[in-house]
Amino acid sequence: MNTVRNEATVATGGADLLAVARDLGKSYPKVFRRRDRLRALGKLLVGIDDLDSVPVLRGVNLDVLRGESLGLIGENGAGKSTLLKLLTGVLTPTTGSVEVRGRVGALLELGAGFHPEYTGRDNVAMSAALYGLAADELREKLPQIIEFADIGRYVDEPVKHYSSGMVVRLGFAIVAALRPDLLITDEVLAVGDESFQKKCVRWMEDYLAHGGTLILVSHSMYHIQKLCRHALWLRQGEVAAAGDVFEVTQAYLAYHERKSVAAPDRGIIAAQGVEFHLLGLAANDLEQETPVFLNQGDTLRLTARVRSRDGRPPTVAFGIARVDGTAVYGVSSEMDGIAPQRLDAHTWVAEIVFDDLTLLPGAYTVKAHPMDTEGVRLFDTIERGIVVRGSTREFGLVRLHHRWNDAPAQVMAQNGADSASSSSS
* 56-85 pLDDT tens trace: 899 999 999 999 999 999 998 899 989 999
Question: 12-21, 143-152, 177-186, 361-370: which has the minimum mean pLDDT?
Answer: 12-21
- Backbone angle region of 419, left / alpha / beta, with phi > 0 → left and psi within -120 to 50 → alpha: alpha
pLDDT tens string 301-359 = 999 999 998 999 999 999 999 877 788 999 999 999 999 999 999 999 999 999 999 99
- Is position 259 within any domain? no
As a whole number of angstroms, the distance between CA 407 and CA 395 comes to 25
Instruction: Count the domains in the chain.
Output: 1
How would residue 266 be classed by pLDDT, with cut points 50, 70 and 90?
low
Q: What is the DSSP letter of 380?
A: -
Among residues 266, 306, 302, the alpha carbon closest in space to that of 286 is found at 302
- Backbone angle region of 83, left / alpha / beta, with phi > 0 → left and psi within -120 to 50 → alpha: alpha
As a whole number of angstroms, the distance between CA 87 and CA 97 comes to 10
As a whole number of angstroms, the distance between CA 119 and CA 121 comes to 5
Are the beta carbons of 78 and 217 closer than 8 angstroms? no
- What is the reported pLDDT for 247? 83
- Is position 215 within any domain? no
Are the beta carbons of 31 and 192 closer than 8 angstroms? no
- For residues 374-382, give the mean pLDDT: 84
| CA-derived radius of gyration, the chain | 29
- Is position 79 within any domain? no
CATH number of the domain encompassing residue 291: 2.70.50.60
- Is position 127 within any domain? no
- Is position 342 within any domain? yes
- Is position 324 within any domain? yes
Neighbours of 285 (CB within 10 A): 8
Q: Which domain holds residue 372?
A: 264-389
The values of phi and psi at residue 258, to 5°, are: -70, -35
pTM of the model as a whole: 0.64
Size of the chain, expressed as the number of residues it contains: 425
- Is position 18 within any domain? no
- For residues 202-225, give the mean pLDDT: 90
Q: What is the DSSP letter of 245?
A: H
As a whole number of angstroms, the distance between CA 228 and CA 208 comes to 9
List the strands of the sheet with 230-235, edge to edge. 104-107, 182-186, 213-217, 69-73, 230-235, 238-244
Q: Which residues are CB-contacts of 248 (< 8 A; sequence separation ≥ 6)?
A: 71, 73, 230, 231, 232, 233, 241, 242
Are the beta carbons of 297 and 357 closer than 8 angstroms? yes
Amino acid residing at 259: K
Q: What is the DSSP letter of 338?
A: -
- Is position 213 within any domain? no
Are the beta carbons of 373 and 339 closer than 8 angstroms? no
